[in-house]
């Protein structure tokens, strides 16, 4: 019986998956299974004697299951990964992560186990794009759906929402919208072979034929379908190149001023336990402190924050908003939550020489990025006088110290757009940089981003240090270049 075949399939997905959400393909299918596959199984016509029990059980948990919005988010995350890492959709559907540029194919990650996508999975991703009018992504995913449905024609899965006909129908229309009428025509004709009585499709075929006779050029000159442009991101190419670590990474051999040292900063605290400091970049000044926290501390911080995590917001004018360009969950941890956080503050103060007591620094912000989670290029400091950052009345964010609380399997680097380098996630290390010049003016060269997580679960913690309280620790200067 198909429903039990679905059950067996679900069981096999869960075999040996300790962290099921580390793989974006598995994460998508998990959400899809909870959001629509089970519903399709439960509401299928395959009424057997136990169906009432199954239905009752389903209704009990229904409101806690992921909503369509979650499925949509997961589909968009897959498309984001596809774009930023130039992933090939055919490869993704087979469970492999390959970057394809021209004829060159690079393996970005070799998963231990392949999780392939079904035709219906690809259809759902394509449909999300289609419903947003994004025919560029719709076409790549629906092409894959059509090709997989063709290969398994006649085999019907109870959990599936769509069929070959649905996929052909959507793909044909997507091509038509994108200006490729000849492809729309051939797919519509294929559709009619399976459903010859469909009047709407018959009308479409006539329309496409007419268009092609009237404008025969469209037959040959197939429109090049462009990826939708995201207007707020002028730096997209650089950003994506850096996420793929195609930027000019600093090499210590070429730049002798970049060095590694054991930092004691004349602090008694650090004399006992010096921290290995690596200068990553000079202007802006960015350093990495290795093993800034221990595995246990990192774990503890993640655990303390976990129950408080909420979808991250950003400052927009005077308001705080949820936006597509920052997708993560975050929580603020007050020092009083655990003595370990006080120890951490002392370590930050000792290393940076800055005062991190309230109100001169913000609470620790813990951030968790799921699959495809990201933070597009931004500044940490306020760029407008009405920013909510000034509510603390301790000036702007003079410096950032960001701790990597986890490793990731692939993706998730921190990219400095204008400085043209990216920092891969180094578990337990902390990245420090100045956001402001000594004059107090924002340093535009600190524009940075958290690249989408390709595989894994990325955690970071931010300590934002404000201007006030640092007057004697970082004296100001009127030279803007300082
Ligand atoms: O996650 C990252 O690598 C960067 C995060 C970041 O820039 C921020 O939270 O402000
Ligand atoms: Fe940032």
Q: CATH number for the domain including 32? A: 1.25.40.10
pLDDT in tens, 414-431: 999 999 999 999 999 999
CB neighbours of 10 closer than 8 A, spacing ≥ 6? 33
**352, 460: one domain:** yes
Taking the C-alpha atoms of residue 358 and residue 335, their distance in angstroms, rounded to an integer, is 10
- CA-nearest of 97, 62, 57 to 78 is 97
Taking the C-alpha atoms of residue 10 and residue 13, their distance in angstroms, rounded to an integer, is 5
Taking the C-alpha atoms of residue 459 and residue 463, their distance in angstroms, rounded to an integer, is 14
Determine, yes or no, domain membership for 476. no
- CA-nearest of 413, 391, 399, 368 to 469 is 399
pLDDT of res. 337: 95
**68, 148: one domain:** yes
pLDDT of res. 479: 61
DSSP 335: G
Taking the C-alpha atoms of residue 58 and residue 35, their distance in angstroms, rounded to an integer, is 11
Residues of the chain with pLDDT under 70: 1-21, 37-51, 53-54, 65, 217-224, 229-233, 246-259, 271-272, 475-482
**136, 253: one domain:** no
pLDDT of res. 165: 96
Determine, yes or no, domain membership for 472. no
- CA-nearest of 292, 382, 396 to 343 is 292
Ligand 1 surroundings by CB, under 6 angstroms = 367, 375, 380, 414, 448, 450, 460, 462
CA of 253 to the centre of ligand 2 (A): 28
Q: Is the peptide bond before 359 cis (omega within 30 degrees of 0)?
A: yes
**353, 209: one domain:** no
Determine, yes or no, domain membership for 422. yes
**189, 250: one domain:** no
Has the ipTM of the complex gone over 0.90?
yes
Domain count, the chain: 2
Q: What is the CATH number of the domain that holds 386?
A: 2.60.120.620
Determine, yes or no, domain membership for 49. yes
Determine, yes or no, domain membership for 479. no
pLDDT of res. 478: 62
CA of 414 to the centre of ligand 1 (A): 7
**253, 201: one domain:** no
pLDDT in tens, 324-372: 888 899 999 999 999 999 999 999 999 999 999 989 999 999 999 988 8
Q: Is the peptide bond before 435 cis (omega within 30 degrees of 0)?
A: no
CA of 179 to the centre of ligand 1 (A): 39
pLDDT of res. 71: 87
Determine, yes or no, domain membership for 238. no
Domain that holds residue 165: 2-220
**273, 390: one domain:** yes
**212, 251: one domain:** no
- For residue 448, which atom of ligand 1 is closest to its CA? 7
Taking the C-alpha atoms of residue 98 and residue 88, their distance in angstroms, rounded to an integer, is 6
Taking CA atoms only, the protein residue closest to ligand 1 atom 9 is 462
Q: What is the CA radius of gyration of the chain?
A: 26
Determine, yes or no, domain membership for 227. no
Neighbour tally for 307: CB within 10 Å: 7
Beta strands in 163-273 (DSSP E): 260-263
**216, 257: one domain:** no
**396, 444: one domain:** yes
**329, 455: one domain:** yes
- For residue 330, which atom of ligand 1 is closest to its CA? 9
Identify the three-state secondary structure at position 356.
coil
Taking CA atoms only, the protein residue closest to ligand 1 atom 10 is 380
């Amino acid at each position: 019986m198909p429903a039990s075949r679905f059950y067996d399939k679900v069981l096999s997905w869960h075999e040996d998956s300790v962290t099921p959400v580390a793989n974006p393909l598995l994460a998508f299918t998990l959400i899809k299974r909870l959001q629509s596959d089970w519903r399709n199984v439960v509401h299928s016509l395959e009424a057997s004697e136990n169906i009432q029990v199954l239905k009752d059980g389903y209704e009990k948990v229904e409101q806690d299951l992921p909503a369509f919005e979650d499925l949509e988010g997961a589909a968009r995350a897959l498309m984001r990964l596809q774009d930023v890492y130039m992933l090939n959709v055919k490869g993704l559907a087979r469970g492999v992560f390959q970057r394809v540029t021209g004829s060159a194919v690079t393996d970005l990650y070799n998963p231990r186990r392949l999780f392939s996508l079904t035709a219906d999975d690809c259809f759902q991703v394509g449909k999300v794009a289609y419903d947003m009018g994004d025919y560029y992504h719709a076409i790549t995913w629906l092409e894959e759906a059509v090709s997989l449905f063709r290969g398994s024609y006649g085999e019907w899965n109870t959990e599936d929402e769509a069929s070959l006909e649905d996929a052909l129908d959507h793909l044909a229309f997507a091509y038509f919208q994108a200006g490729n009428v000849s492809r729309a025509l051939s797919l519509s004709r294929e559709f009619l072979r399976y459903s010859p009585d469909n009047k709407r499709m018959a009308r479409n075929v006539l329309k496409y034929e007419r268009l092609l006779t009237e404008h025969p050029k469209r037959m040959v000159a197939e429109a090049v379908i462009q990826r939708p442009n995201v207007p707020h991101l002028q730096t997209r190419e650089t950003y994506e190149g850096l996420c793929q670590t195609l930027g000019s990474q600093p090499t210590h051999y070429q730049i002798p001023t970049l060095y590694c040292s054991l930092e004691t900063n004349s602090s008694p605290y650090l004399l006992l336990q010096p921290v290995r400091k690596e200068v990553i970049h000079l202007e802006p000044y960015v350093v990495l402190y290795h093993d800034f926290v221990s595995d246990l501390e990192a774990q503890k911080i993640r655990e303390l924050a976990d129950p408080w995590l909420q979808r991250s917001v950003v400052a927009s004018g005077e308001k705080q908003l949820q936006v597509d360009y920052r997708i993560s969950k975050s929580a603020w941890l007050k020092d009083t939550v655990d003595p370990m956080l006080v120890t951490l503050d002392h370590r930050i103060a000792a290393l940076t020489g800055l005062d991190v007591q309230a109100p001169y620094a913000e609470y620790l912000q813990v951030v968790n990025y799921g699959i495809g989670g990201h933070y597009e290029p931004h500044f940490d400091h306020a760029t407008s006088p009405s920013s909510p950052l000034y509510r603390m009345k301790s000036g702007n964010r003079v410096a950032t110290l960001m701790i990597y609380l986890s490793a990731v399997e692939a993706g998730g680097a921190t990219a400095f757009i204008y400085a043209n380098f990216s920092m891969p996630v180094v578990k337990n290390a902390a990245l420090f940089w100045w956001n402001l010049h000594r004059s107090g003016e924002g340093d535009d060269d600190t524009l940075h981003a958290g690249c989408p997580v390709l595989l894994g679960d990325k955690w970071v913690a931010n300590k934002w240090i404000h201007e006030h309280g640092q007057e004697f620790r970082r004296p100001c200067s009127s030279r803007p270049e300082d």
